[in-house]
Amino acid sequence: MKRVFSWKTAVVLSFGVLLSILTGIFVASESESLLPVGSVAPDFSATLSTGEEFRLRDYSGKKIVVLFFYPKDFTSGCTAQVCSFRDNYDDILHHEAMVVGVSYDTEETHQAFVEKHRLPFPLISDKDMSISRMYGTADRLGGLISGAKRATYVIDKEGIIRRVLHHEILIQKHVEGVLESLGEIEKGIGLKSR
């Protein structure tokens, strides 16, 4: 029996192609504001979800910093993202690195999020979006969508950005890219672009 495409099938397929193209354009434009690989990571100070004060410059020469931004605590994608870092935390520590997450949520929400998911790393409340603006993650779709872009920076011990990862949907790519980058840093391999 021959199958013939109906006009409905053609419309659905056309819509799918159009959606794929628009998604590609969206992701490309969203990545443009992120800081480039090879640049000096902007220094900042913030209070961690542990109550401790964090200054990026304090880790210069001591630790690689994995700084990741995400939209909102307790949402499905963000929970998957932070739990992915949690589940790979020992592998990250093995490379003399530390992990810090950043979102616009309050300190109280962060504490509940850390407790619920047993996160071994701290989170930063960036309510005024100052850190997100410094790192180019503040606006999603020109401010039409709330929350920071889902982006991860690997900052080496000299304060240089070694890897920038931006995956809004393929969340597992963040940790995969971080572990790859940490291995490259350990082996002395040069800078890697997005």
For the entire predicted model, the pTM comes to: 0.81
The two beta strands, 151-155 and 161-166, are antiparallel
Q: Which CATH number among 3.20.20.150, 1.10.3720.10, 3.30.70.890, 3.40.30.10 corresponds to the domain 7-187?
A: 3.40.30.10
Q: Is 78 a catalytic residue?
A: yes
Q: How confident is the model at residue 168 (pLDDT cuts 50, 70, 90)?
A: confident
**Contact of 54 with 48, CB cutoff 8 Å:** yes
- Across the range 139-150, mean pLDDT stands at 64
Q: Across residues 144-165, what is the average pLDDT?
A: 88
Of 34, 41, 65, 78, the active-site residue reads 78
Residues whose CB falls within 8 Å of the CB of residue 164, separated by 6 or more in sequence, listed in order: 34, 35, 36, 37, 151, 152, 153, 154, 194
How does pLDDT run across 12-29, given as a tens digit for each residue?
A: 566 555 555 544 444 444
44 and 134 Cβ atoms separated by less than 8 Å:
yes
Identify the band that residue 68 occupies on the pLDDT scale cut at 50, 70 and 90: very high
pLDDT computed for residue 188 by the predictor: 85
Domain layout of the chain by residue ranges: 7-187
Number of residues in the chain: 194
Distance of CA 3 to the CA centre of its chain: 45
Residue 163's contacts (CB-CB under 8 Å, 6 or more residues apart) are 37, 152, 153, 154, 177, 178, 180, 181, 192, 194
Residue 30 pLDDT > 70: no
pLDDT at res. 28: 44
